Amino acid sequence: LTAESVRLSWALAFLRGASPLGWEGAIYLFNMCLPQLFEIKVFKEKNRSWFINESVQSGGLLHFATPMDPLFLLLHYLIKADKESFQGKFQPLDQVVMDDMFPDCILLLKLPELETLLRHVTEEKEIDKKKYYKYSKEKTLKWLEKKVNQTMAALKTNKVNVSARVQSTAFFSGGQVSSDKDEDYVRYAHGLISDYIPKQLSDDLSKHLKLPEPPASVQNPPSKKAKLSDEPVKAKEDYTKFNSKDFKTVKKNSKMTAAQKALAKVDKSGMKSIDSFFGAKHVKKK
Amino acid sequence: EESIDKRRVHLRRDALRDPAPVSLHLLPCEVPVNRPTPVGLFFTPAIRLGPDGLEASFRGHSLRGEEVVVPPGFMGYVMTEEKAEVLVGKQKDHEREEQELVEPPSVPQALERDFDHFMGATASFSSFTVWGLLAAAIHAQVSED
């Protein structure tokens, strides 16, 4: 929660709504005064608990409420409607954003600047002063490309390590660190954005960005390093697993864990990097 | 209809304003219960500032701790879900809450219905302590930069 949003808010609600991927619910925080949408991400790691004042709380979960672009959610409904019922027809928005499972989706219609938002992903028509919309894949891909570029810039600013290949090379050639390639950034950013869009659209975006299929060698190289650095950890009891290196090992894999993804997303919104967050001041002090 | 309503949890705005600061420790082990425990008796008095940061122990294991700060622009809250019967018991609070809900003109009609689940922030924090096992911290790989 940003301090600002709390100060200004009149009422806030946690909502369970359709996730952009459509296959499960997700929890959102909706500020009904502004109005503004936040997504709730959970940091979850094995073998963690909280001491909260004079009590213990198992699980050790850490929830983040970060601002979310409502267009990702709207897109979910636009695509669904276009596919299932209105194929290529213009429709008023209140007939598109409907959900028996998650009726709170109508809140999305209350968002300010909705029309400006929708221009990124739809074609619109006005008949008798009522707006009608139609999903446009071409416009959506252009919008997503901008999102990828924006995310890339954030990754660079936050110095997120995106390249599995560069890391493994650096490891084996004795600490020679070269700068990450743009292509790696694009792929990484594409992966982050893909968490918010359906698989089909993600594939289309990949083609649109002319992303080559990742060669097999890129998908696997961290395994050797991961094994090496895991060894001292495995030798201990289960709950000895905490150390900052766990995170670093994960980061070097091209596939991230859910928590890792969540934190990478959090990075974008101006938070500190995961290293500074969980770890390892002692590393920096060395 | 009822199950649909339950999907919505209302967060009390009042409670977000100035909740008491809380002392938070993130432990490197799973304690599979949620209940009061005398942290101030067995844990916090044993915390020492060693050469590598904070030191403490839990169940005979040495721990090393770091204070981590909530990211800039953010605020930490400990949230507690309130039971429906609590609301009935505190009728006055409930009424005030409803009033607040109706007040802003931007609240859509559908939201003026009662929320059946409420959540409040019982405490706030701007930093917490992450604990790791001492041995693990010593043998952790340092970063390359």
CB A37 within 8 A of CB A251: no
Is A228 part of the contact surface with chain B (CB cutoff 8 Å)? no
Residues of B in contact with A58 (CB under 8 A): 30-34
Structure tokens at A214: 């990742």
Q: Say whether B7 and A16 touch across the interface (CB within 8 A).
A: yes
What's the number of CA atoms in the CB half-sphere (13 Å) around residue A72? Answer: 24
Asked if pLDDT for residue A229 goes beyond 60, the answer is no
The pLDDT of residue B24 is 93
pLDDT of residue A286: 36
**What pLDDT does A208 receive?**
87
Do the Cβ atoms of B104 and A13 come within 8 Å? no
pLDDT at B48: 92
- Per-residue pLDDT of A150-184, as tens digits, reads 999 898 888 888 765 544 444 444 433 445 578 88
Of A13, A50, A272, the CB nearest to B24: A50
| Identity of residue A189 | A
Dihedral, CA atoms, B144, A49, A258, A273, nearest 10 degrees? -40
A3 interfacial to chain B (CB closer than 8 Å):
yes
Phi-psi region of A174 (alpha: psi -120 to 50; beta: other; left: phi over 0): left
First-to-final CA distance of chain A: 33
A-contacting residues in B 85-124 (Cβ below 8 Å): 100-101, 103-104, 106-108, 110-111, 115, 119, 123
C-alpha–C-alpha distance, residues A272 and B6, integer Å = 35
Residue A211 is classified by DSSP as P
Cross-chain residue pair A48–B131, CB shorter than 8 Å: no
Average pLDDT rounded to a whole number, residues A202-207: 89
**pLDDT surpasses 90 at A133:** yes
Is B31 within 8 Å of A58 (Cβ atoms)? yes
Average pLDDT score over chain B: 70
Query: Which residues in A lie closer than 8 A to residue B22 (C-beta atoms)?
Result: 52-53
The token duo for B59 is 């169940």
3-state DSSP assignment of residue A69: coil
CB-neighbour burial class of residue A257 (10 A; exposed 0-12, middle 13-18, buried 19+)? middle
N-term to C-term CA, chain B: 56
Tokens of A97: 């954003």
What was the pLDDT predicted at B143? Answer: 62
Shortest CA gap B92–chain A (Å)? 18
Is A243 in contact with B10 (Cβ distance < 8 A)? no
Q: Cβ separation of B140 and A244 shorter than 8 Å?
A: yes
Give the pLDDT confidence score for residue A284 in this predicted structure.
39
Residue B14's pLDDT band, with cuts at 50, 70 and 90, is low
Please, which residues bridge with residue B32 across strands? none
The string of DSSP codes covering B74-125 is B-EEEEEEEPHHHHHHTHHHHHHHHHHHHSSTTS-GGGGSPPSEEEEEEEEE
Domains and their CATH numbers in chain A: 137-162+182-211 (1.10.20.120)
Q: How far is B54 from chain A (nearest CA, A)?
A: 11
Q: What is the pLDDT of residues A32-76, one digit of tens each?
A: 777 888 888 888 888 899 999 999 999 888 888 888 898 988 888
Residue A262, C-beta contacts closer than 8 angstroms, at least 6 positions apart:
A41, A42, A43, A64
Residue A31 and residue A5 in contact, taking contact as beta carbons nearer than 8 Å: yes
Q: Is B144 on the interface with A (CB under 8 A)?
A: yes
pLDDT at A123: 93
pLDDT at residue A180, as a whole number: 57
> What's residue B120's pLDDT?
75
- Contact of B52 with chain A, judged by CB distance below 8 Å, is answered with yes
- Domains of chain B, each with CATH number or no CATH: 8-83+117-133 (2.40.128.680)
> Are A56 and B37 in contact (CB < 8 Å)?
yes
